[in-house]
Copies of this chain bind each other. A is one copy, B any other.
């Protein structure tokens, strides 16, 4: 692994620190360019938001995810306290920025599902077509998600002007100049970085192996509705909420590890369309799981009619079926992916000096 061929002259002389600094400089620069745009965008839309984050917010999210991922995967090469604090602050901003676009996407997903389930077009009629509860359930979901989004928006507006964010921006400014690297980062890039990237993929494989991927690969296995939380940690869950939380957690963890793997590959000058696709499927899995919770919660709203509750039950099941369908895809694809942690890194390197084009997510 340490003997991986180098494709450019620069590659053979670059240290691990050189490579990491170059990546972090690029991402911190992207952060600082996107931040004022994101703040401006947030202020400019008092009540509405698109289904995807606007350009500045999207760029900011991209940079935040990558800097955080690199500080995790290659964390031992940085001054420890600084890296740890930076990751905490980046995670805070990530959660903050993801909140509003998350509600917008969830709203699009749930209202889209309801429209599909209650619609009638040449592609087929939904099982709720003509049902009296459908418009009421739609209005209820729309109202609750708009409220949640509006609240999230206020929080974002407030925090984007906070001292905490200014301090984080200062950290990123520092990173553009000079990352606080340890002496160990002075070693050859391939010798130092590859084992750490390999460790990220080892963590990914280990987490995947704890999931019921084989069962998920059997269509209609019931993992979405009847057999939640069949992962060991969830056994004995006494109610569906606890089982769902225990069930979804390892899948959410898998997605985090897939993202870390993607960003580690970028540092190594590589990319993997399989990993990008896996990330997208896991995103769908998680959004459907979150949307299912929203439908179940909406059904507990006091004083709704039985017809509304009935429709929300169907929507809840429909979203759990989406969860199962996404897991099916993961279960089918996983065995075809590069085996073991080294497999991912054995792709032909495009050169160590190369800073990968900004990823799309």
Q: Measuring CB to CB, which residues of chain A are less than 8 angstroms from any residue of chain B? A: 116-117, 120, 122-131, 219-220, 222-230, 234-244, 247, 292, 299, 304-318, 320-321, 324-325, 328
Counting every copy of the chain, the complex holds 2
Task: Check A317–B306 contact: CB distance below 8 A.
Answer: no
Listed A/B pairs (18) with beta-carbon separation below 8 Å: A116-B226, A117-B226, A124-B228, A124-B234, A125-B239, A125-B243, A126-B228, A127-B226, A127-B316, A127-B317, A129-B237, A131-B240, A219-B328, A309-B313, A312-B313, A313-B317, A314-B314, A317-B318
* Residues of B close to A242: CB separation below 8 A: 125
Task: Check A325–B220 contact: CB distance below 8 A.
Answer: yes
Task: Check A120–B236 contact: CB distance below 8 A.
Answer: yes
Q: How far is the CB of A160 from chain B (nearest CB, A)?
A: 38
* Residues of B close to A225: CB separation below 8 A: 117, 126-127, 314, 317-318, 321
Task: Check A124–B227 contact: CB distance below 8 A.
Answer: yes
- Chain B: which residue is nearest A221 at the CB level? B325
Known: A228-B124, A309-B309, A311-B313. A130 touches B325 (CB 8 A): no
Task: Check A240–B306 contact: CB distance below 8 A.
Answer: no
Task: Check B313–A240 contact: CB distance below 8 A.
Answer: no
- Chain B: which residue is nearest A317 at the CB level? B317
- Chain B: which residue is nearest A246 at the CB level? B125
With the chains together, A225 CA to B128 CA distance in Å? 8
* Residues of B close to A128: CB separation below 8 A: 240
With the chains together, A12 CA to B229 CA distance in Å? 63
Q: How far is the CB of A303 from chain B (nearest CB, A)?
A: 8
Task: Check B238–A127 contact: CB distance below 8 A.
Answer: no
* Residues of B close to A236: CB separation below 8 A: 120
Q: Which 10 A-B pairs have the closest CB atoms?
A: A313-B313, A130-B239, A124-B227, A317-B317, A125-B243, A219-B219, A306-B309, A124-B230, A220-B325, A309-B310
Q: How far is the CB of A315 from chain B (nearest CB, A)?
A: 8
With the chains together, A59 CA to B279 CA distance in Å? 56
Q: How far is the CB of A290 from chain B (nearest CB, A)?
A: 14
Residue in B130, B219, B220, B240 whose beta carbon sits within 8 Å of that of A126 in the complex: B240
Known: A116-B226, A220-B219. A240 touches B125 (CB 8 A): yes
Task: Check A324–B124 contact: CB distance below 8 A.
Answer: no
Known: A129-B237, A240-B130, A306-B299. A124 touches B229 (CB 8 A): yes
- Chain B: which residue is nearest A311 at the CB level? B313
